Amino acid sequence: MTETAAPTAPAATTTAAAPATEPAPAPFDLFALHVLRVERLTPSMVRVVFGGPGMPRMATAGRDQRIKLFLPSPGQQAPHLPETAAGEWYATWQALDPATRGIMRTYTISELDAPAGELTVDFAAHGDEGPASRWALRARPGDRVGVFAPVTDTNQAYEFRPPADTDWILLTADPSALPAIANILAHLPGSVPVRAWIEVPTPEDRQALPTGADTDITWLTASGTTPEAIRAAALPEGTPYAFVVGESSMVKSVRRHLVKERGFDRKRVKFSGYWRQGTSEDALAQSGEAA
Ligand SMILES: Cc1cc2nc3c(=O)[nH]c(=O)nc-3n(C[C@H](O)[C@H](O)[C@H](O)COP(=O)(O)OP(=O)(O)OC[C@H]3O[C@@H](n4cnc5c(N)ncnc54)[C@H](O)[C@@H]3O)c2cc1C
């Protein structure tokens, strides 16, 4: 669910220019993986490490690199996957029977060790209401999934792109966006000051976020309080870049404040609702709002 003009599927058809005689390589592929390990990272976060055939080909651009995860439908051992991973994969998946096709959800690569054949995804454990959260809370070694992931680190399925003249960076997150924010912070050079507001359900859900950047992180444990906290904050001087992600209504509220009340240039505010309270990703996809 993105509120920008991002496609409803990863930018599977985005390819580098190639000689006319050779088809450009597809920057994404579909991997049939299984669970290697599961760890309860924090009370509200489950870390799942996947492995399987073809893993050394998987790649990541880092930052908020997104992937599509396919989970088995009820009663299945393995997800029913689209047969093609080329540009038409999304249409092929959509054409499958909704009752039996793999359940598709959007996640972030938390860590990729392609040579060792390990992909790590951190799941916000928000209970049994959503199939992905329910699956993660019960995941066991050997459980099978499909993952649509990049095979080149120059793919375009990430949104964090601060312009070169950025003086400081504003970030927001909740558990769904912690993997993205953690990788963005790890990627940033020491020269960039960062102000971040991160909502987590409990103080124990705070995570260490290693970075070389000069960070000032405000952890909030009351849901929906990010807009109010940013409104009350004195923000740094200079040209900002904002990356505002998390629950959709929080994202909208923060964006409105930054653009209308703080005078941020809207082109310097990248914003994306990672989920919407009371709405599943399927419903968002049907309305054309899923990322
Ligand atoms: C680009 C991108 C990257 C993402 N990366 C990650 C990631 O790395 N880790 C991660 O955990 N999530 C991530 N998300 C969010 C994730 O895709 C959604 O939370 C998704 O809806 C979870 O699916 P589900 O089956 O658990 O719930 P759904 O079936 O989609 O929804 C069922 C119900 O649960 C509620 N719900 C959904 N997500 C949450 C949540 N996070 N907290 C509380 N309630 C929720 C919905 O409002 C709905 O009422 C990402 C989303 C995007 C767009």
Distance 197 CA to ligand 1 centre (A): 19
What is the CATH topology of the domain spanning 28-155?
Elongation Factor Tu (Ef-tu); domain 3 (2.40.30)
Domain coordinates in residue numbering, the chain: 28-155, 168-275
User: Any residues with Cβ below 6 Å from ligand 1, and which?
Assistant: 1, 66, 105-108, 122-124, 126, 129-133, 175-176, 179, 274-281, 291
Question: pLDDT by residue (tens digit) across 95-150?
Answer: 899 999 999 999 999 999 999 999 999 999 999 999 999 999 999 999 999 999 99
Q: Read off the pLDDT of residues 211-248 as tens digits, 9 standing for 90 and up.
A: 999 999 999 999 899 999 999 999 999 999 999 999 99
Residue 202: both structure tokens together: 């409990």
- The domain made up of 168-275 has a fold known as Rossmann fold (3.40.50)
Of 142, 157, 73, 44, residue with least CA distance to 109: 157
Q: Which helix (H) or strand (E) holds 193?
A: strand 193-199
What percentage of residues in the chain have a pLDDT greater than 70? 89
Supply the DSSP symbol for 100: T
Most confident of 90-94, 111-115, 153-157: 111-115
The residues near 176 (Cβ < 8 Å, ≥ 6 apart) are: 124, 246, 247, 274, 275
pLDDT tops 70 at residue 21: no
pLDDT at 291: 67
Distance 123 CA to ligand 1 centre (A): 8
pTM as predicted: 0.92
H runs (alpha helix) in the chain: 89-95, 131-138, 178-187, 226-231, 248-256, 281-286
**How much is the mean pLDDT over the chain?**
90
Measured on CA atoms in the order 267, 281, 14, 47, is the torsion positive or negative? Answer: positive
Inform me whether the pLDDT recorded for 27 exceeds 80.
yes
Q: What is the pLDDT of residue 25?
A: 60
Strand partners for 80? 101
Give 18's pLDDT tier (boundaries 50, 70, 90): very low
For ligand 1, the distance from its centroid to the CA atom of residue 275, given in whole angstroms, is: 5
